[in-house]
Structure 1
């Protein structure tokens, strides 16, 4: 892990994420890339116009540069290499392109989650990034004066498609020096016997074993509740999951457990794209 991207709107939630990123960067000798997205309404841009020629764009880019200057002066960023970027895209597209251009290894984002009607209609920017990002996304909800993860829950159905996300999660657990707790949640609607669940998990990890892990089967009313309740029971510092990146009508009907966790879990969540 060499490069960490932190999208920021200069809010308290974004700074919580930046403080965690700074701790990781100091521990693992990483560079930090700060990204601020200036969202300009599309109806103000015609085919012959350049974003940079818009008065709004110029104003907000100058404002962002001043805010970057103030932010980079914070004591917790001292002695770190910090790059700053201002872009004019939709947030998730800007993050995707920045990750690709600068070969980012990890995205760290702040979120306070959304719920109810607002969640159903528009979701959150963090949720959209989780759904589309090819790069692992670490979502931070609260302040962490010391981001130290001793126990890392990786929840999965342990099918073939989840092997690559599991390998990435395993590598991240090793970077953190965390114990990994592999979790399969049993629900009334998707019940699997303990024998079958154990067999599937053991087969899944056969070629990628860790020296510091446990396997766990947890019964609950839903997968999301099972993940949160199990994580609470062991006081886990981090929850990890894979995400399918569903969009459009498929996402509306099927939803995504990883996105629900990003919105509802109180603990940090990290997602890995299948």
Structure 2
């Protein structure tokens, strides 16, 4: 298994590369192979520890395109990035086992499943057979239904229980404990207030010992707090969240703006 340099000693940075026409903040920018590869080069130069490539938008209301289209978008840039940057650590953002399988064969190192293995029953067994790290994210429903599934009595503890349930499924499929990363799923079936509650309660999610990946970058709850409708203008709100994640000992921060957030985390590490 491959891990970032200094794994668990500092908060690593995962750079987002959306190979889609409809992602919420950068849809279409990296749909062309050359642009995706150039962005990978830029993010690595800016200090990305992991590159997260996704070819299926998971924003609220997104249309699911299916494995064939997802692979058509994903594989050309993935293969070129792997060829040009053989030492890069690459994650594939997908909830479909056929996509994950093809991506791993093409050189991906991690699987980042926003459904935590819910959406495709073959996913956890595939990850087990591949012996690769997997990000299990807490979510409910799908892109079209998740905004209606935000009923929690205690969002932090219910997210924790949900992650423990997905972990039990992963262990039963043969995935070792050491390969599992947790993601509380900011913005996935959570209101703005619930996202803030999760960030305030991160220590309750780190107590079980699993590395925690947080994906706050440019999200709607930051826009709600800042009254900022433009996703790409939410960098300073994202930076504030990055400081909180570093304080709580998060293992990975998944972001669009790699350079500024890497600097933010370096400064936060000096403070905490």
TM-score bucket of the superposed structures, by smaller chain: under 0.3
Structure having the higher strand fraction is: 1
TM-score normalized with structure 1 length: 0.27
Calculate the TM-score normalised by the size of structure 2. 0.27
